[in-house]
Amino acid sequence: MSGADVVEAVFETVAGAAPEIRESLVGRRRYEAGENPSGEQQLAADVYADELFEERLLALDGVATYASEEREDVVEGADGDYHVALDPLDGSSNVKSNNAMGTIVGVFDAPLPAGGESLVAAAYVLYGPLTTMVTLREGTVTESVVHEGERHVGTADRSLPDEPTVYGFGGRVPAWTDAFADYASEVEQELKLRYGGAMIGDVNQVLTYGGVFAYPALTTHPNGKLRRQFEGIPIGAIVEAAGGASTDGERSLLATPPEDLHERTPVFVGNRSLIERAEATLSA
Ligand code: P6P
């Protein structure tokens, strides 16, 4: 299979699983005994989604390994040239409050952990009032509605609006650094707050309305909360391809390969002007 065929097969598999993932949430809102490698409690839904995606993605020709936010190590499959990094249910804590959450996918042509230079495709599924899927391949960002596991293209070439409208900043305000608090106080005067507690829902607002999403370095968590491999790189690539920008506070999220599969990074994505201001304020 060509690389394009493998990417399409990954996208089809993830979209195809969306109805089952939605259905699986019913009755799986309880926390399991275990924690994920980031030390976060796992919902039964997290474990179910992770096992479903592992089985189906490793069954694809060309997919050599599977890694997920929910498991310590990379899982070896059959021979292949591509490596899939997944956040099976990003924002799963939102299941209990019935708020939006998503699945994040990165397809790499190098063994994981791998950086932006090895990313060949990325996508996210947003389980909101509708199920939608945003995909990045060959530089183009496409948004589709997923109905009965099939993608129906809505916007063939999604790009950020030139004028930003919304912002969403994570972390508790008392834990914000002084520099980030200065940046936030400027942005709060200009944009509308949209923060839902699941990165995918908040990033999709930025992609739709323009603006900035950030989960910054905190005084309590100097590397922030989000994972570079599973969240920062694929989402940073999607927003950059849509005409926006990303940063970890110093440089594009695609510029620094993760040393550890589960390492955390500060994440800023959105309109380029807002990202540049963030870097300027944080480096002052
Ligand atoms: P907080 C969800 O757990 C997640 O990893 C991201 O999806 C989201 O942006 C962030 O954590 C929310 O964190 O501290 O607001 O609960």
Q: Is the CB of 38 under 6 A from ligand 1?
A: no
- Please give the distance, rounded to the nearest whole angstrom, from the Cα atom of residue 198 to the centre of ligand 1: 5
Q: How many Å apart are CA 116 and CA 254, to the nearest integer?
A: 4
Domain that holds residue 259: 166-283
Annotation-wise, does 93 bind a ligand? yes
65 with 132, same domain? yes
Decide: 264 in ligand 1 pocket, CB within 6 A: no
CA-101 nearest atom, ligand 1: 7
pLDDT at 62 over 80: yes
Atom in ligand 1 nearest the alpha carbon of residue 40:
3
- pLDDT computed for residue 36 by the predictor: 84
Q: Is the CB of 256 under 6 A from ligand 1?
A: no
Q: Is 69 annotated as a binding residue?
A: yes
Number of structural domains, the chain? 2
pLDDT reported for residue 96: 87
**34-38, 157-161, 183-187, 213-217: the lowest-pLDDT one:** 34-38
Among the candidates 119, 134, 155, a domain finishes at 155
Is position 23 annotated in a ligand binding site? no
pLDDT digits (tens, 9 = 90+) for 166-222: 999 999 999 999 999 999 999 999 999 999 999 999 999 999 999 999 999 999 999
Determine whether the shortest distance from the Cβ of 169 to ligand 1 is under 6 A: no
- The predicted-structure confidence for 85-94, as pLDDT tens digits, reads as follows 999 999 988 8
Indicate whether residue 168 lines ligand 1 (CB < 6 A): no
Which atom of ligand 1 is the closest one to the Cα of 171? 14
CATH code of the domain containing 202: 3.40.190.80
Q: Is 155 in the pocket of ligand 1 (CB under 6 A)?
A: no
* 228 CA from centroid of ligand 1 (Å): 14
Q: 197 CA to middle of ligand 1, Å?
A: 5
The answer to whether the CB of 241 falls within 8 A of the CB of 141 is: yes
- Residues 191 and 219 occupy one common structural domain: yes
Of 106, 136, 155, which residue is a domain's last? 155
DSSP-assigned letters across all residues of the chain: --HHHHHHHHHHHHHHHHHHHHHHHTT--SEEEEE-TTS-EEEHHHHHHHHHHHHHHHTSTEEEEEEETTSSSPEE-SSEEEEEEEEEEETGGGGTTT--EEEEEEEESSPSS--GGGEEEEEEEEESSSEEEEEEETTEEEEEEEETTEEEEEESS----SS--EEEE-S-GGGB-HHHHHHHHHHHHHSEE---S-HHHHHHHHHHH-EEEEE--BSS-TT-SSBIIIIIHHHHHHHHHTT-EEESSSS-TTSS--SSTT-B--EEEE-HHHHHHHHHHHH-
What is the average pLDDT value for the chain, to the nearest integer?
Answer: 96
Q: Does pLDDT of 70 surpass 80?
A: yes
What's the CATH number where 90 sits? Answer: 3.30.540.10
Instruction: Tell whether 161 is covered by a domain.
Output: no
Q: What is d(CA 209, CA 232) in angstroms, rounded to the nearest whole number?
A: 20
Q: Is residue 86 part of a domain?
A: yes
Report, as an integer, the average pLDDT of 35-48: 86
According to the annotation, is 130 in a ligand binding site? no
CA of 199 to the centre of ligand 1 (A): 6
